[in-house]
Amino acid sequence: MLIPTYNRLESLIVTLGSVAAQSLSDLRVVVADQSAEPVGERPVIQALRRVIEARGGAVEWHTRPQIHGIAEQRDFLLGRATADAVLYLDDDVLMEPWVIEQLLENLRAQQCAFVGAFPVGLTYRDDMRPQQQAIEFWEGPVLPETLLPGSPQWERWQLHRAANTYHVAQRLRPDERRLYKVAWVASCILYDRVKLLEVGGFSFWPRLPRYHSGEEVLVQNLLMRRWGGCAMLPSGTYYTEVPSTVLNEDGLVDGHALDLLPELVERFAVSQ
């Protein structure tokens, strides 16, 4: 488990609490903390670390200077991973206890590059948006796809707004779980580590400005072209809905990683 964190102590506590309560407990958790005031020694953080360890897991904590942005954080964390599957979990996500076990089961069964569990923002649970709730379920195995920005398939991202996935999941049977097609998925994604490294991981980070976005959009687009990717419903994940910490002082980003897509497709992707 790879967790980047920056100035979100309360939210991080919620996230680590859900990690500590997972049905799959032999987890190696690697945290990269770039908070202005490092939080690794805070009493509640220490307590949660002990719970994770007592249940058979391990916690590795890195306090790092906050310099290069989120893609560099992800690259740093990937360099410390050794397992076949790596879960990138943002520090504003709460997981139900079955989530990691289900993600791993899906990744192994599908042999695809990634499986996501997109978090719901329950502030919007009464905000029904049927025009944004089109969903394409995988009816067979997850297969490679080539998605181009601006294509009709790119509009799949609309499903990941507000509480759309929550509302769609309510239409499923109580015991039903489905995989669906994505343009990309954020915040809680289990990757096949070898496949992720084969498209370069997040090693492109030096090409991006300090305040950027879209690093996982780029990586997932490359991965889907070769092995496919998906997300699961219900996701079992929820946002704490705290403010973003990847924006500049004007509340914007200075660049988007997707600008590198044509170049990296030529280097790493096999078009379908």
Residue 109 CB neighbours (<10 A)? 12
Average pLDDT, the chain: 96
Would you list the domain boundaries of the chain?
2-268
Q: What pLDDT does residue 97 have? A: 98
Q: What pLDDT does residue 19 have? A: 98
Tell me the per-residue pLDDT of 103-124, one tens digit each, with 9 for 90 and over: 999 999 999 999 999 999 999 9
**What's 2-268's CATH class?**
alpha beta
Mapping DSSP onto H, E and C, the string for the chain reads CEEEECCCHHHHHHHHHHHHCCCCCCCEEEEEECCCCCCCCCHHHHHHHHHHHHCCCEEEEEECCCCCCHHHHHHHHHCCCCCCEEEEECCCEEECCCHHHHHHHHHHHHCCCEEECCCECHHHCCCCCHHHCCCCECCCCCCCCCCCCCCHHHHHHHHHCCCHHHHHHCCCCCCCCEEECCCCCCCEEEEEHHHHHHCCCCCCHHHCCCCEECHHHHHHHHHHHHCCEEEEECCCEEECCCCCCCCCCCCCCCEEHHHHHHHHHHHHCCCC
Tell me the per-residue pLDDT of 164-208, one tens digit each, with 9 for 90 and over: 999 999 999 999 999 999 999 999 999 999 999 999 999 999 999
Residue with tokens 């699961």: 232
Residue type (1 letter), 144: P
Q: What pLDDT does residue 131 have? A: 95
Distance of CA 248 to the CA centre of its chain: 21
| pLDDT above 50 (res 272) | no
Q: What pLDDT does residue 197 have? A: 98
Residue 243 CB neighbours (<10 A)? 10
Q: Which of 113, 262, 80, 93 is nearest to 198 (CA)?
A: 113
Beta bridge partners of 163: none
Q: What pLDDT does residue 202 have? A: 98
* 250: confidence class by pLDDT, cuts 50, 70, 90: confident
Joined together, the tokens standing for residue 8 give: 């979100």
Residues of the chain above pLDDT 70, percent: 99
